[in-house]
């Protein structure tokens, strides 16, 4: 059996959480990640018949029975994961009853997965129905994206279009736009249900005055989506700080980009005024 601490998926989690903490996106124990793993790969590092303990998930995830995830822990700081992954991360499998997580590794201090796990599982279910390759959900609190929430209407078209205007790559990276939710209490199933509903149409969901959810086929894609939004939000906040904007990317310009990159079938045309 290989050493789990050397597993590529553990290394990925260590690197991405450290990077997100250094960027200031995940203060204290803010933010969480869930990453669906390949059972065969996990079997090279863990005895899949050895269940350490069972933990109620608080949600019926029957659609994910048997699926294995590596998930950040509740109350855990991203900055500590790279130094003590076994305490701050856990690998779980959704049990046959659909409402229990079987702990296969991690949470060594007796802890458990993030309180946002139901929201993550709901989003995984929604995204897998759209794209079976989507395996990662990242929730984070990017600074400029959050600041932008305070100065712009929380409307999907307005929010998306504003970001598309800020730099050319935005409409290329997220042509499907950004779903937007109003402010809601976090850590409960209500916000999870609302997020999953948005995830049926968007890979990115902005939680009003809280943070953002991103989904992707791997950590790079999910992180890259959020990273691009944050860069555009930063540009917006800097550019508007002077009180005026002289230049912008027009809707006609945006459509030229869409045509150049063959995005006609995926772009949210209703977010453009042509």
DSSP state of 47: -
Report CA-CA distances (Å) from 73 to 32, 199, 220.
8, 23, 21
Structure tokens at 168: 């050319």
How many whole angstroms separate alpha carbon 104 and alpha carbon 51?
5
Residue in the block written with tokens 């855990």: 76
Q: Which residues are identified as catalytic?
A: 116
Could you tell me how many residues make up the chain?
274
Residue 208 and residue 146 in contact, taking contact as beta carbons nearer than 8 Å: no
How many whole angstroms separate alpha carbon 112 and alpha carbon 196?
22
């Amino acid at each position: 059996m290989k050493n789990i601490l050397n597993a590529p998926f553990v290394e990925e989690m260590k690197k991405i959480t450290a990077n997100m903490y250094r960027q200031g996106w995940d203060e204290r124990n803010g933010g969480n990640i869930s990453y669906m793993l390949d059972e065969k790969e996990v079997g090279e590092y863990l005895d899949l018949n050895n269940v350490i303990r069972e933990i109620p998930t608080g949600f019926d995830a029957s659609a994910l029975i048997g699926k294995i995830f590596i998930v950040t822990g509740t109350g855990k700081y991203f900055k500590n994961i790279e130094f003590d992954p076994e305490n701050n991360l856990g690998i779980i499998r959704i049990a046959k009853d659909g409402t229990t997580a079987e702990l296969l590794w991690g949470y060594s201090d007796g802890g458990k997965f993030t309180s946002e796990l139901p929201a993550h599982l709901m989003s995984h279910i929604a995204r897998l129905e759209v794209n079976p390759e989507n395996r990662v959900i990242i929730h984070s609190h990017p600074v400029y994206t959050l600041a932008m929430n305070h100065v712009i209407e929380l409307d999907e078209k307005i929010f998306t279009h504003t970001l598309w205007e800020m730099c050319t790559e935005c409409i290329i990276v997220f042509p499907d736009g950004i779903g937007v939710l109003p402010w809601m209490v976090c850590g409960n199933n209500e916000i999870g249900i609302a997020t999953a509903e948005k995830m049926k149409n968007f890979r990115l969901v902005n939680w009003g005055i809280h943070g953002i959810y991103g989904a992707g086929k791997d950590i790079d894609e999910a992180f890259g989506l959020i990273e691009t939004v944050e860069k555009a939000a930063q540009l917006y906040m800097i550019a508007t700080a002077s009180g005026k904007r002289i230049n912008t990317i027009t809707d006609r310009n945006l459509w030229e980009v869409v045509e150049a990159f063959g995005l006609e079938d995926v772009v949210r045309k209703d977010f453009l005024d042509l």
